[in-house]
Amino acid sequence: MISIKNLDFKYEDELILKNINLRLKDSCYTAIIGANGSGKTTLAKHLNALLMPTKGSVTVDDIDTKKDQFSVRKKVGFVFQNPEDQLVYSIVEEDIAFGLENLGMETKEMKAKVDGIIKELNIEYLAKKNVNMLSAGQKQLTALAGILVMSPKYIVFDEPTTLLDNKNKRNIMGIINKLNKKNKIGIILVTNLLNDIKYADNIVAMGNGKIIFNDKKSKLGNKILKKAGLDA
C-alpha cells in the first residue's frame, strides 16, 4: 500500500500541495485527474520519491520515501509524459536493459528478462531499432518496457496519451489496463483527459493543490468535474 499522510509541498515560497491524505491499495487502478496546475503531477512525483514532502510523509509498503529512495523506486515505476525524458541508450533493447545493468544483473539473466518484456508488449520488431527513429507511440512502449523489466509493484503514468494519436492512445490504454487486470500491477494514472479514465476503478480529483474527490468512478459527477476544472 502507498500511504500519504498530511502532505504539504512547497516550491520556493508557494504551497503547491496542501494537506494531502491518500491511501492507494495493492493492485489499485486509480486515476488522478485535474486541470493543469492542480497539483496532480506534483503529487504523483512524490509516489516514487522524485519529490520529497515539505511536511508529512509518503510511505510505500511502510518504506518512507525520505529514508530509502532506492527501495521505493524499485517498487514504484514512473512513466513520464514525454518518454524521451527517460530513454538513455540508442538501441531499444539496450535501453530496456539499462535499469537491470545498474543492478549488476548477469548478462544471460538480463537478456532473458528483456526478451520476455519485449515479447509481452509485442514489440519484437523494435528491439534492434534506434530510439531516435521511433514514433511517439513506439517511444512510449520502449519507456514502459524499461519500467516493466524492473518488476515494479506499482506504475505511475503521467499523462501517457498526450503526445499520441488516437490509435496509439487506444493501444497504450489497453496495455495499461491489462497490466492491472492480468498482471495485478497497481496503476496510478495522471490525466486531464476524461477518455483516459474509462478503465480506472477509483478517481482522485484535484483542484488548487487539494484533493476535492476520492471515491469510486461511478460516483464521479459533473459537479466534481466542474470543480476540478474539467469538462464533463
Q: Would you write out the chain's pLDDT as a tens digit for each of its 232 residues?
A: 999 999 999 999 999 999 999 999 999 999 999 999 999 999 999 999 999 999 999 999 999 999 999 999 999 999 999 999 899 999 999 999 999 998 889 999 999 999 999 999 999 999 999 999 999 999 999 999 999 999 999 999 999 998 899 999 999 999 999 999 999 999 999 999 999 999 999 999 999 999 999 999 999 999 999 988 987 5
Q: Which CATH architecture describes the domain 2-86+155-227?
A: 3-Layer(aba) Sandwich (3.40)
User: Long-range contact list for 14-22, CB < 8 A, 24+ apart?
Assistant: 15/209, 16/42, 16/209, 17/42, 17/43, 17/46, 17/209, 18/208, 18/209, 18/210, 19/56, 19/210, 20/56, 20/210, 20/211, 21/211, 22/204, 22/211, 22/214
The model carries a pTM of 0.94
Domain boundaries, the chain: 2-86+155-227
